[in-house]
Structure 1
Amino acid sequence: MRPPRPGSGGGGGWGAVRIAGRPRPDPGRPFPGPRAAPCRALRSTCARTRAAGGLGRSRAEGGGSRAGAQGAGCVERAASVRGLGGWRKERAGHAQWGGGGGDGRGRRGDCCLFAAGPTRRRRRRRSAGRQRRVQRPPHHARARLRAAAARRRGPGRGGCQTPRRGQGSGGGGGAMVVTSSARGGGGDRAPSRQRGCGLAPAGAAALLAGASCLCYGRSLQGEFVHDDVWAIVNNPDVRPGAPLRWGIFTNDFWGKGMAENTSHKSYRPLCVLTFKLNIFLTGMNPFYFHAVNVILHCLVTLVLMYTCDKTVFKNRGLAFVTALLFAVHPIHTEAVAGIVGRADVLACLLFLLAFLSYNRSVDQCCVGECFPPTASPFFLLLSLFLGTCAMLVKETGITVFGVCLVYDLFSLSHKQEKSSNGVIPHRSPQQPRSPQPSSLPAHPLRENGKQQRFPHKGAWGGCHSPLPPEPKSSGFPVSPRAVWSMMRYLTASSNRNFLLTMRPFLKRAILVISYVIVVLYFRLWMMGGSMPLFSEQDNPASFSPYILTRFLTYSYLLAFNVWLLLAPVTLCYDWQVGSIPLVETIWDVRNLATILLAVVMALLSLHCLAAFKRLEHKEVLVGLSFLVFPFIPASNLFFRVGFVVAERVLYMPSMGYCILFVHGLSKLCTWLHRCGAATLTASTVLLLLLFSWKTVKQNEIWLSRESLFRSGVQTLPHNAKVHYNYANFLKDQGRNREAVYHYRTAVRSQDKKEEAIILLKDSIKYGPEFADAYSSLASLLAEQERFKEAEDIYQAGIKNCPDSSDLHNNYGVFLVDTGSPEKAVAHYQQAIKLSPSHHVAMVNLGRLYRSLGDNSVAEEWYKRALQVARKAEILSPLGALYYNTGRYEEALQIYREAAALQPSQRELRLALAQVLAVMGQTKEAEKMTIHIVSEEAGCLECYRLLSAIYSKQELHDKALDAIDKALRLKPKDPKVISELFFTKGNQLREQNLLDKAFESYKAAVELNPDQAQAWMNMGGIQHIKGNYVSARAYYERALQLVPDSKLLQENLAKLDRLEKRLQEIRDKDHT
Structure 2
Amino acid sequence: MTAGWREKRPAVPGLPPLQPGARHAVLAALCVLCYSNSLRGELVHDDVWAIVNNPDVRPGSSLWSVFSDDFWGKRMGDNTSHKSYRPLCILSFKLNILLGGMTPVYFHAVNMCLHTAVTCLLMYTCERCVFQETHLAFLTALLFAVHPVHTEAVSGVVGRADILACLLFLLTFLSYVRSVGRCVSEDALPSTESPGSLLLSLLLGTSAMLVKETGITVFGVCVVYDALVLCRRSLTHHLSSSRPSGLVNICSPFMKRAALISGYVLIIMSVRLWLMGGSMPLFSEQDNPASFSPHVLTRFLTFSYLLSFNAWLLLTPVVLCYDWQVGSIPLVESLGDVRNMATMLLAGVMLVLSLRCISSLQRQEGWEVLVGMLFLVFPFIPASNLFFRVGFVVAERVLYMPSMGYCILVVHGMGRLCSVAGRWGTTLLSVSMLLLLLIFSWKTVSQNNVWLSREALFRSGIRTLPHNAKVHYNYANFLKDGGRYEEAIHHYNTALSLYPRHASAMNNLGTLTGSPEEAELYYRNALDINPQHNRALFNLGNLLRSQGKDQEAQALLKDSLHYGPHFADAYSSLASLYAEQKRFAEANDVYVKGIENCPDNSDLHNNYGVFLVDTGEGELAAAHYQQAVQLKPAHYVAMVNLGRLLRSSNDNEEAESWFKRALQVTRKVDVLTPLGALYYNTGRYQEALQVYREAAALQPHSTDIWLALAQVLAVAGRGAEAEKMTLDIISRESSCIECYRLLSAIYSKRGNYTQALQALDWALQQNPPDISVRAELYFSQGNQLRELQQLDRAFQSYKQAVELNPDQSQAWMNMGGIQHIKGDYATARMYYQRALLLNPGSKLLKENLAKLDRLEKRLAGGA
Where 1:258 maps in the other structure, the secondary structure is coil
Q: Distance in 2 between matches of 1:547 and 1:270?
A: 38
Q: Distance in 2 between matches of 1:682 and 1:221?
A: 33
Task: Report the counterpart of residue 525 of structure 1 in structure 2.
Answer: 274
Task: Report the counterpart of residue 492 of structure 2 in structure 1.
Answer: 760
Task: Report the counterpart of residue 544 of structure 2 in structure 1.
Answer: 816
Query: Are residues 1:466 and 2:241 paired?
Result: yes
Listed as ranges, the matches of 1:377-526 within 5 Å are 377-415=195-233, 459-460=234-235, 466-467=241-242, 495-526=244-275
Task: Report the counterpart of residue 217 of structure 1 in structure 2.
Answer: 36
Contact persistence 2:802–2:808 (CA under 8 A) = no
Listed as ranges, the matches of 1:171-250 within 5 Å are 181-183=8-10, 198-239=17-58, 242-250=60-68
Listed as ranges, the matches of 1:16-55 within 5 Å are none
Q: Distance in 1 between matches of 2:32 and 2:417?
A: 31
Deviations 1:197-232 (A, max 9, x none): 511111111111111111111111111221112111
Contact persistence 1:354–1:400 (CA under 8 A) = yes
Match of 2:505 among 764, 773, 777: 773
More helix by share: 2
Match of 2:309 among 560, 583, 598: 560
Deviations 1:730-771 (A, max 9, x none): 2x2xxxxxxxxxxxx324xxxx54343333333332222333
Q: Distance in 2 between matches of 1:546 and 1:972?
A: 57
Q: Distance in 2 between matches of 1:251 and 1:379?
A: 31
Match of 2:337 among 588, 603, 620: 588
Task: Report the counterpart of residue 266 of structure 1 in structure 2.
Answer: 84
Q: CA deviation at 1:931?
A: 7.0
Deviations 1:773-798 (A, max 9, x none): 33333433x1xx35676667667777
Q: Distance in 1 between matches of 2:795 and 2:232?
A: 105
Where 1:505 maps in the other structure, the secondary structure is helix
Contact persistence 2:176–2:198 (CA under 8 A) = yes
Task: Report the counterpart of residue 327 of structure 2 in structure 1.
Answer: 578
Deviations 1:640-667 (A, max 9, x none): 1111111111000000111111111111
Task: Report the counterpart of residue 819 of structure 2 in structure 1.
Answer: 1063
Where 2:55 maps in the other structure, the secondary structure is coil
Where 1:1050 maps in the other structure, the secondary structure is coil
Task: Report the counterpart of residue 659 of structure 1 in structure 2.
Answer: 408
> Which ranges of structure 2 fall in alignment gaps of 5 or more residues?
685-710, 717-721, 727-735, 742-767, 826-854
Query: Are residues 1:906 and 2:602 paired?
Result: yes
Task: Report the counterpart of residue 845 of structure 1 in structure 2.
Answer: 556
Match of 2:359 among 607, 610, 614: 610
Task: Report the counterpart of residue 1051 of structure 1 in structure 2.
Answer: 808
* Alignment-mate amino acid for residue 160 of structure 2: R
Q: Distance in 2 between matches of 1:305 and 1:1010?
A: 82
Task: Report the counterpart of residue 763 of structure 2 in structure 1.
Answer: none
Q: Distance in 1 between matches of 2:655 and 2:224?
A: 75
Deviations 1:110-159 (A, max 9, x none): xxxxxxxxxxxxxxxxxxxxxxxxxxxxxxxxxxxxxxxxxxxxxxxxxx
* Alignment-mate amino acid for residue 466 of structure 1: S
* Alignment-mate amino acid for residue 811 of structure 2: L
Q: 1:301 to 1:284 in 2, by over 3 A?
A: same
Q: Distance in 2 between matches of 1:686 and 1:698?
A: 18
* Alignment-mate amino acid for residue 164 of structure 2: L
Where 2:57 maps in the other structure, the secondary structure is coil
Task: Report the counterpart of residue 102 of structure 2 in structure 1.
Answer: 284
Larger CA deviation: 616-625 vs 553-562: 616-625
Q: 1:202 to 1:808 in 2, by over 3 A?
A: closer
Query: Are residues 1:640 and 2:381 paired?
Result: no
Listed as ranges, the matches of 1:81-160 within 5 Å are none
Deviations 1:55-110 (A, max 9, x none): xxxxxxxxxxxxxxxxxxxxxxxxxxxxxxxxxxxxxxxxxxxxxxxxxxxxxxxx
Q: Distance in 2 between matches of 1:689 and 1:845?
A: 58
Where 1:1067 maps in the other structure, the secondary structure is coil
Where 1:585 maps in the other structure, the secondary structure is coil
Q: 1:1005 to 1:251 in 2, by over 3 A?
A: farther
Q: Distance in 2 between matches of 1:228 and 1:967?
A: 26
Where 2:823 maps in the other structure, the secondary structure is helix
Using the size of structure 1 for normalisation, the TM-score is: 0.62
Task: Report the counterpart of residue 712 of structure 1 in structure 2.
Answer: 461
Where 2:361 maps in the other structure, the secondary structure is coil
Larger CA deviation: 652-661 vs 1029-1038: 1029-1038
Q: CA deviation at 1:524?
A: 1.1
Report the count of equivalent residues. 750
Q: Distance in 2 between matches of 1:358 and 1:511?
A: 12
Using the size of structure 2 for normalisation, the TM-score is: 0.76
Deviations 1:513-536 (A, max 9, x none): 111111111111111111111111
Query: Are residues 1:669 and 2:418 paired?
Result: yes
Larger CA deviation: 1026-1035 vs 550-559: 1026-1035
Query: Are residues 1:253 and 2:71 paired?
Result: yes
Q: Distance in 2 between matches of 1:937 and 1:721?
A: 31
Q: CA deviation at 1:811?
A: 7.0
Q: CA deviation at 1:281?
A: 1.0
Q: Distance in 1 between matches of 2:15 and 2:495?
A: 54
Q: Distance in 1 between matches of 2:502 and 2:615?
A: 49
* Alignment-mate amino acid for residue 93 of structure 2: F
* Alignment-mate amino acid for residue 202 of structure 2: L
Q: CA deviation at 1:238?
A: 2.1
Where 2:287 maps in the other structure, the secondary structure is coil
Task: Report the counterpart of residue 344 of structure 1 in structure 2.
Answer: 162
Task: Report the counterpart of residue 40 of structure 1 in structure 2.
Answer: none
Q: Distance in 2 between matches of 1:392 and 1:956?
A: 50
Where 2:278 maps in the other structure, the secondary structure is coil
Q: 1:1032 to 1:363 in 2, by over 3 A?
A: farther
Listed as ranges, the matches of 1:903-942 within 5 Å are 903-910=599-606, 936=633, 939=636, 941-942=638-639
Q: CA deviation at 1:890?
A: 7.5
Q: CA deviation at 1:693?
A: 1.1
Task: Report the counterpart of residue 6 of structure 1 in structure 2.
Answer: none
Contact persistence 1:950–1:956 (CA under 8 A) = yes
Larger CA deviation: 715-724 vs 899-908: 899-908
Contact persistence 1:218–1:699 (CA under 8 A) = yes
Q: 1:813 to 1:895 in 2, by over 3 A?
A: closer
> Which ranges of structure 1 fall in alignment gaps of 5 or more residues?
1-159, 163-168, 170-177, 186-193, 416-458, 468-491, 733-744, 829-842, 847-860, 989-994
Q: Distance in 2 between matches of 1:911 and 1:713?
A: 38
Q: 1:763 to 1:364 in 2, by over 3 A?
A: same
* Alignment-mate amino acid for residue 759 of structure 1: H
Computed over aligned residues only, the root mean square deviation of the Cα atoms, in angstroms, reads: 4.6
Deviations 1:173-215 (A, max 9, x none): xxxxx98523389xxxxxxxx9985111111111111111111
Match of 1:539 among 279, 288, 291: 288
Contact persistence 1:982–1:1014 (CA under 8 A) = no
Contact persistence 1:794–1:807 (CA under 8 A) = no
